[in-house]
Chains A and B, each alone.
Chain A
């Protein structure tokens, strides 16, 4: 179907509507609540060619927290399913057509050939693209009438509606597909929906996309209005962002339920600093920091201390094989702990790249759902500040967490001689349900020694592991 024809289609449909011509029986997205703006066709219960009678269930629609089966209000034969499964459509948009057994069918061909192309079978959401008409229409979709009232001549534009309804990417010039909750949320935070890309079915913008935008105000695009920190009123009427609420609840729970104990040691990072500086001077391992060396030291040490590599799940200790390290990332309004997966198999260069990607995704709110899970240990580094040490709270269900302070020039007595050294305080908070002090102490000692002899950390993953 070419673009020209689609354009024509849109016009002829509007004309037909204005004349109030009785088209083939159209099934429209019903308005199931006052505030419903669109729904998703979760499932078609009928297929093209099938006969339906009044009252037969034809589709399952999702809106808000409800799945609703909608019923045929006319009898007829299903001619086409306009919206594929997984696709969303605004209230009032045509989602299917029934050919009547009599007069309606006779009128149908006109309408049908004039209509924007629609698949006769619902394609998988991934392969369904918006019909060409989508890009031609202004995208302005009037709210249609509920299907019950559709016999009244209504100025609803079926072509643009069906285009809009497709599960493909959102119409380029039109409005993005948005869930009602997401729209509400975006409005309350002053977020322009056009600036978001949807992660829901068919590229639909869903709540989590808006939340991600709220959590991570874009910093680079000057045209995007500054986003106010999310304010969600609690029962006390106190504004608190979603992320703040999450942190509050998780930390309160962790501090209360996990029997923490703490170990602390000073690490001589003189060699690590020299390594870091010479790498930078030689432009080797761009982006490398002492934090990466610490991550690498943990990755190598952890398999030698399997008790530490565990989670507290179902009131039991669950040890895992991979070394998955959470990295506490500070955001303007809170923090996230994305997890560096399989760290034991990463070279230092890979580790630098992976870490950068994780932090970047987190800051942009574009993390994948598995980015945030699977860790057994985390690293919280405030070494960029003038702060000696940090005693962190464990990120449940992980077993432990490192707090990293800043690097200090300190006098150290070595072999009876006072020398200037660069020291960094490393704190380790552990869940006593999972590990004991001695085990944790050995682990901390191991990490410390590896960090103090950092050259071995640069050997590639396979070599360093033997």
Chain B
């Protein structure tokens, strides 16, 4: 795989790939490859994968298995333990997942700042849809009222961040009710459609999220060929 975006003199960009429905393992493999390429190339900028997963539970490397509460076996949903921070969460159809695989500014020494940027992009996206979301004090992710609508969990390897954010658009939330989401028992979860009280156009939301991420990461968007 050649780095076709690494033309000499080109300003760093966020190259967006809209992948539609992707199985978790395939998306993970793609992320791994892109991280490797970004590490090897020493290039600034990054790739942005936009997609949705088949139902899957993922857990951070340090997450407590008990937080799954036996849901995977009970519901027949696969589980992946992955190199991101945070506890257990769910991804599934109707949820937009965005993986910005980007070289972090400052040699990756401001992880918190990077997370806050991703958070700002989620808030921005919600606001654009007329939903006033917020980040409760001391939390990571975004909430509408009392319920969580967007989550964040990243990994950093050689100053390249991967994994990213998920935004509930019209996915089922009952899968969340079967686990301890993000280490908080009984955490209420909601979707953007519930928040706006009507249907949303997925590609519109996806476009807004991509634009918001590009703004937050200060990288111009570029559609992948």
Which of A's residues lie within 8 Å of B, judged by CB?
30-36, 40, 42-43, 55, 57, 60, 62-69, 71, 86, 146, 181, 184-185, 188, 201, 206-208, 211, 232-235, 240, 242, 244-246, 248-250, 253, 312-315, 367, 369-370, 372-373, 396-397
Contact = CB atoms under 8 A, between A and B. Distances in A.
Given A249-B145, A249-B188, A314-B75, A64 B133 contact: no
Contacts of B110: 32-34
28 contacts: A32-B110, A32-B112, A33-B113, A57-B158, A63-B85, A64-B115, A65-B84, A65-B153, A65-B154, A67-B85, A69-B83, A146-B109, A181-B139, A207-B183, A208-B183, A208-B185, A234-B145, A245-B136, A245-B188, A248-B145, A249-B190, A250-B188, A253-B147, A253-B188, A313-B178, A314-B172, A314-B174, A315-B172
Interface stretch (B15-23, B59-67, B203-211): B59-67
A181 B134 contact: no
Closest 10 CB pairs between A and B? Answer: A33-B112, A245-B146, A249-B188, A235-B134, A249-B146, A68-B156, A65-B85, A66-B85, A32-B111, A42-B61
Given A40-B62, A208-B184, A65 B152 contact: yes
Contact of A67 (B60, B69, B140, B172): B60
Given A60-B61, A245-B145, A313-B174, A67 B112 contact: no
A409 to B, nearest CB: 39
Interface in B143-164: 143, 145-147, 152-158, 161
B201 interface: no
Interface residues of B, number: 54
A208 B139 CA distance: 12
Interface string B109-152: 11111110000000000000000111011111101011100001
Interface of B: 60-62, 64, 66-67, 69, 75, 83-86, 108-115, 132-134, 136-141, 143, 145-147, 152-158, 161, 172, 174-175, 177-178, 180, 183-188, 190
A418 B164 CA distance: 71
Q: Determine chain A's interface SS by DSSP, over half rule.
A: mixed
Given A65-B154, A314-B75, A369 B67 contact: yes
Contact of B60 (A62, A313, A370): A62
Nearest to B142: A235
A62 B153 CA distance: 11
B144 to A, nearest CB: 9
Name the residue among B64, B83, B178, B186 with the largest chain A CB count within 10 angstroms: B186
A30 B112 CA distance: 13
Given A63-B85, A69-B157, A245-B146, 11 more contacts: A34-B112, A35-B112, A65-B140, A65-B153, A66-B115, A66-B154, A71-B158, A207-B183, A245-B145, A369-B69, A397-B177
